[in-house]
């Protein structure tokens, strides 16, 4: 019983079935102990995991875990993104971003609004990229770290465009990262970044990635001048 209780403390599930049956519903605070008669007629005593509700009528014990918040609305609509023509092609991106070869993850810029402090582009996910063979064999999935790198390169492009004399901007940190979908070879991953705080040697951005109108990644990206 002790091992099962510890298991329940750390398992993220919506429902864990146990055998309590008394009328009514009650909730226990984290760390409290309960003594109720089980269906077998024995008294049981265990430490209640956090956020537990006992439904006595249905004999179902519900274990609630902290869940990821609902996906936010896209910073720019997918229909708008698809309707935009290329504003800055790869040649312009290469003049401002130093990444090359396997680490070049920004294909084009389709929207740039310095007044609203928002930029959008895309990465065309290729069939022969370096990660395809190993992540995963027979089912290639774009690694989350590559999605984040693509978002960071979009932020860097925006920063050096509005600050032409700025040095190279690299990763300074990530906050509130969520992966909400998969990306596979052949997909076009649309990337959006909105500046939250811009200074001479740093930038902080809210970013999102979408495929076929679905939000697949989001994060807040901190860029630091090198």
Quote the CA–CA distance of 106 and 43 in Å, as a whole number.
Answer: 62
Residues 6+ apart with CB under 8 A from 30: 48, 49, 50, 51
Pairwise CA distance, residues 11 & 128, whole Å:
38
**Largest alpha-carbon pair distance within the chain?**
77
135 as an active site residue: the answer is yes
Residue 135 and residue 94: Cα distance in Å, rounded?
A: 27
Select which of 10, 51, 105, 135 is catalytic.
135
Sheet holding 25-28, edge to edge: 16-17, 60-63, 52-55, 25-28
Q: Where are the alpha helices (DSSP H) in the chain?
A: 2-10, 78-83, 90-96, 144-162
Neighbouring C-alpha atoms within 13 Å toward the C-beta of 85: 0
| Alpha-carbon distance values, 117 to 3, 114, 189, 206 (Å) | 52, 5, 21, 11
The residues annotated with a catalytic role in the active site are 135
């Amino acid at each position: 019983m002790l091992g099962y209780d510890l298991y329940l403390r750390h398992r993220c599930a919506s429902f864990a079935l146990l055998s309590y049956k008394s009328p009514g519903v009650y909730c226990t605070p984290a760390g409290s102990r309960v003594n109720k008669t089980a269906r077998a007629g024995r008294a049981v005593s265990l430490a209640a995991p956090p956020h537990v509700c006992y439904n006595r009528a249905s004999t179902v014990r519900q274990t609630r875990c902290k869940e990821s918040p609902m996906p936010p609305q896209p910073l720019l609509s997918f229909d708008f993104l698809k309707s935009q023509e290329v504003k800055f092609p790869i040649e312009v991106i290469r003049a401002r971003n130093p990444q090359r070869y396997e680490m070049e993850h920004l294909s084009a810029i389709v929207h740039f609004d310095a007044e609203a402090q928002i930029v959008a582009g895309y990465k065309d996910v290729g069939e022969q990229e370096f990660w395809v063979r190993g992540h995963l064999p027979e089912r290639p999935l774009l690694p989350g770290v590559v999605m984040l790198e693509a978002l960071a390169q979009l932020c860097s492009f925006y920063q050096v465009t509005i600050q032409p004399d700025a040095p190279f901007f690299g990763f300074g940190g990530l906050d509130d990262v969520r992966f909400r979908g998969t990306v596979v070879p052949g997909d076009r991953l649309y990337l959006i970044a909105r500046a939250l705080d811009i200074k001479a040697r740093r930038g902080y951005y809210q970013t999102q990635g979408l495929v076929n109108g679905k939000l697949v990644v989001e994060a807040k990206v901190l860029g630091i001048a090198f």
